[in-house]
Amino acid sequence: MLPGRGAFSAPWQAPGRAPPGLPRRRLTPRARRILRISTMGPVKTFSHHRLLLLEQKFNLHVQLNADKEFLAQKSAPHRDFYNVRKARRPALRAGRC
């Protein structure tokens, strides 16, 4: 981040700097290839079935482990609503120095 006129800007927005990533001449053929592959009928069907299978596996995992996860969350009273460990402010300030 570079300071400028009271606000910060990304380094590639500075004059004479290119944005990060692949140059357009290399990115365009790759994007076209991905689009061509993704519009093929068999690829779409396979992808759809694969996503359905993964969703079913995830739902099965949730059903089998719901009780364990609930007990694990309840057994840790030091966790807040988002299940994140609470940290003391002085400890955080000391880490910044």
Q: Specify if 66 maps to a domain.
A: yes
Q: Specify if 78 maps to a domain.
A: yes
Pairwise CA distance, residues 3 & 9, whole Å: 7
Pairwise CA distance, residues 68 & 62, whole Å: 10
Total of domains in the chain: 1
Q: Specify if 10 maps to a domain.
A: no
- pTM: predicted TM-score of the whole model, two decimal places: 0.46
Pairwise CA distance, residues 76 & 82, whole Å: 12
**pLDDT score at 60:** 96
pLDDT, tens digit, 9 for 90 and up, residues 7-59: 666 655 556 666 667 777 888 898 999 999 989 999 999 999 999 999 999 99
Q: Specify if 7 maps to a domain.
A: no
Q: Specify if 13 maps to a domain.
A: no
Q: Specify if 85 maps to a domain.
A: yes
User: Domain residues for 78?
Assistant: 23-96
